[in-house]
Structure 1
Amino acid sequence: MQKQPRDGENLSKDISSSTSGSKPYRHASLTKAAASLSLVLLGSGMTLAGGYLAGNHQRVSESASNLAVSPVNAAPPVPSSTDPNFVTQVVQRVGPAVVRINSSRTVTSRIPDEFNDPFFRRFFGSQLPSPERRVQRGTGSGFIISKDGRILTNAHVVDGADNVTVILKDGRSLQGRVVGRDELTDVAVIKVQADNLPTVTVGNSDQLQPGQWAIAIGNPLGLDNTVTTGIISATGRSSNQIGAPDKRVEYIQTDAAINPGNSGGPLLNARGDVIGMNTAIIQGAQGLGFAIPINTAQRISNQLITTGRVQHPYLGIQMVGLTPELKQNINSDPNLGLRVNEDRGVLVVRVVPNSPAAKAGIRPGDVILKLNGQAVTDASGVQRAVESAQVGGDVRLELRRNGQSLNLAVQPGAFPTRVQ
């Protein structure tokens, strides 16, 4: 959020609650249109293709056969110094540890309240519609991380599943149990009863650089064991940038071709190490795929395996990185009700009532200059620091308020989210 916002990126970063009804900070003179971005979650899950429209939290559902998925750019040529068979070698080694995940749930259609009116029942009696039960099915991908049957996938692949079946590459079908799932990062862990299963090797996503090779393996649109290649296009893409503001992930961007059904499958480097979990594409675009960094997925999965749930620290503020231009725009608009004196730092736009930030005395209009002694200039930096903090621990903030310096200690709370 330094300087001017990128296309498709909200100026604000909301780390309060995606379910609390809070709305992103918007103003026509301060934001760029993001309506052209449409994020498609790649695992069919229960809706066959759950999606997020940039700029709002509206979920959309459509069958995989109706998805408007454009072809992605072809992979770059193999450099002469690279073994031309390196992809084949990676696939032969890792492929057996990549699985297909079939999930299903039974849903009951709801009868409109009007039909419960005595008037309707008196005149229509047995002709009134009855609740209907139907089974929703979906499919996605996953990869085995332990010989005794722990599997990583996306949370939306198994959302609300009554039944989970894991299909191995050798054709075996195993019953799966959801150990835990975290909606905020879209990570889930499944367990099957088996021994001596093939496993992946986990890499280090913190060391990724744009231009490195990327290999995706999964089951797009029901085409099992599909392999595609490309490069790492970028790292650190915020959830706001790609149109999923209710997530807390800094995504890897890749141009390796991924499609619905790839969700939960591994993104690999040239050595065959897992560096990410494929999760989303931008609909209608070419070569814009996104993966959850494996370091994030592994951190979340460890908590899910240990406790079955994840606690995300949060402060409860909505914020934006300041620039001189943004300062001028804010101060020149009396409708915003804010007055900014600083050129740099992170402006607190909104404080969620009864949140840790509110209890610590943080106010809208405060400018965060330092967090735990480290200078901050953008909202993403603050969010990363909060995410690495401990629930109930202390986070020290150095603020500017109306030209005065303040030091406040905030105890992050557990991010409010629905029980899994």
Structure 2
Amino acid sequence: MGIRHRKFSIGTLLVIVGSLTGAVLGNYLWQQQRSQLPLQTTAAALNPPPGATLPIFSQAIQTDNDNFITTVVAKVSPAVVKVDATESVSQNPTSDRSIDKSTTADSARRTLRERTEKGTGSGLILSADGRIVTNAHVVDGTDRVKVTLQNGRVLAGKVVGIDRVTDVAVLKVAAKDLPTVKLGDSERLLPGEWAIAIGNPLGLDNTVTVGIVSATGRSSSQVGVPDKRVSFIQTDAAINPGNSGGPLLNGRGEAIGITTATRADAQGVGFAIPMRTVTRITTQLFATGKVRHPYLGVQMIPLTAELQAGIAKEPSLRSKLTAKRGAIVTEVVAGSPAETAGILPGDVIIQVAGRPISTPSDVQQQVEASTIGENLKLQLDRQGRVRSLEIKPDLFPPTAADFEPGR
């Protein structure tokens, strides 16, 4: 008897970093003011004689508007560009004979007329010779791209390649000595680190927003884009339409990701593609114009505590599922590497390439890091028995991954 496919709502836990009470905050500000008073007046100011006039603190405090955020923005902004994409599609799908008689001559001409679609986003210059990264959804299907630098210089850009699976695209402009930015290590990110986003949201060029890294390792399902293969960075730095493709920076001014998405049902929650993923994808796109993604051919759900509790109440399932963690296979695609290797619905994947598995996202990450056509080791829990097998990932279906510029 197969395992029943159930859907569960997974709530997102918000981590509250701690807050200062009004008394503590007030004491802190008082200490700051005291420390910035001129030394010769501090004692008199804090212990004034009878009838003396107290100094005005705002006149004694030394003000300095410089901070690490302005330093980062000044250093990185020249490498952030505005991307305007235009697609021209000659629409002539029908002849005069196929136009319905009820259609007016004007509407028929509009049907045959060239249709223009426009998209606007942001981008990041990766090399001084004009290599730029942005989001795939910003330039998907375009054949003309206009790239505007911070100083107002406008360059014609060519779409080199698009990877819809990760929402990454690369452009090339004919230029030299362009400003660039240092890339950071997104694998070492910790929640609570500074996050600075620069882009062109809602058509407002060169906009800077600041927040923190709220979380790392958010799955595509959690973000609401289950068709993507990305483990996202979550941030509370404001991200809006037009930010897409712009950099997410740390406090040192290093690009740790490319902003890509917001959830329509949430406020103050944005996401970015980690720079480790961006680098891997852009390298392939600049080299060949496409990305080869490994593929197993399984659909999975996580073995959560809630699901385990439900299974424990079903006598027919209790003895058949003994794993405490892993990803449950709910469907195996016909003709896929998974079917060839003997994976069955109901199997619990507990290990891939020697790494323990807790969620489908864990499986996805290990498969993405594998090599097409080479053996990948898996461990399964099948009705209480652990089985080891090898599987050869195949090329991800090309309809989802390939891109031909100009189409």
Offset of residue 221 of structure 1: 1.1
Match of 1:409 among 390, 394, 399: 390
> 1:382 and 2:363 equivalent?
yes
Is the aligned partner of 1:129 residue 2:100?
A: no
Which sections of structure 1, spanning at least 5 residues, go unmatched? 1-24, 35-76
* Contact kept? 1:330, 1:339, Cα under 8 Å: no
AA paired with 2:133? Answer: L
Taking the aligned partners of 1:303 and 1:124, their CA distance within structure 2 comes to: 48
Rate the CA distance shift 1:366–1:110 in 2: closer, same or farther, 3 A: farther
Partner of 2:153: 172
Corresponding residue for residue 223 of structure 2: 242
Task: Find out whether 1:97 has 2:70 as its counterpart.
Answer: no
Instruction: Specify the alignment match of 1:200 in structure 2.
Output: 181
In the alignment, does 2:337 pair up with 1:360? no
1:37 corresponds in structure 2 to none
Question: What is the CA deviation profile of residues 203-230 of structure 1, one whole-angstrom value per residue up to 9, with x for unaligned ones?
Answer: 1111111111111111111111111111
1:259 counterpart letter in structure 2 = N
Matches within 5 A, 1:297-376: 297-323=278-304, 325-330=306-311, 339-376=320-357
How far did residue 383 of structure 1 move?
1.4
More helix by share: 2
Structure 2 residue runs without a partner (length 5+): 12-24, 33-63
Partner of 1:31: 8
Aligned pairs, number: 346
- Provide the rounded CA distance (Å) in 2 between the counterparts of 1:325 and 1:135: 49
Structure-to-structure mapping, 1:223-242, within 5 angstroms: 223-242=204-223
1:417 and 1:359 mapped to 2: Cα distance? 20
Distance (Å, rounded) in 2 between the aligned partners of 1:358 and 1:200: 45
> Partners in 2 of 1:351 and 1:377 — Cα distance?
19
The yes-or-no answer on 1:215 pairing with 2:196 is yes
Contact 2:320–2:384, Cα closer than 8 Å, also in 1: no
Give 1:147 shift. Answer: 0.5
1:39-72 deviation line (CA, Å, top 9, x unaligned): xxxxxxxxxxxxxxxxxxxxxxxxxxxxxxxxxx
Query: Quick check: 1:331–1:339 contact (8 Å CA) kept in 2?
Result: no
**Structure with greater contact order relative to length (CA < 8 Å, sep ≥ 6):** 1
Over residues 156-180 of structure 1, what are the superposed CA-to-partner deviations in whole Å (9 max), with x where a residue is unaligned? 1101112101111111111101111
- Quote the RMSD (CA, aligned, Å): 3.1
- Point out the more displaced range, 157-166 or 400-409: 400-409
CA distance in 2, matches of 1:265, 1:335: 52
**Aligned CA distance change for structure 1 residues 147 and 403 (closer, same or farther; 3 Å):** same
Establish whether residue 191 from structure 1 lines up as the match of residue 168 from structure 2.
no
Letter in 2 for 1:361: G
Letter in 2 for 1:87: I
- The residue that corresponds to 1:87 in the other structure is 69
Q: Could you tell me the TM-score, scaled by structure 2's length?
A: 0.78
> Equivalent residue for 1:116?
98
Change (3 A) 1:241 1:91: same
Shift of 1:125: 9.0
SS at match of 1:202: coil
* Aligned partner letter, 1:376: I
| 3-state secondary structure, aligned to 2:238 | coil
Partner Cα separation in structure 2 for residue 216 and residue 403 of structure 1: 48
Q: Deviations over 1:175-213 (max 9, x none)?
A: 101111100100011000001111011011111111111
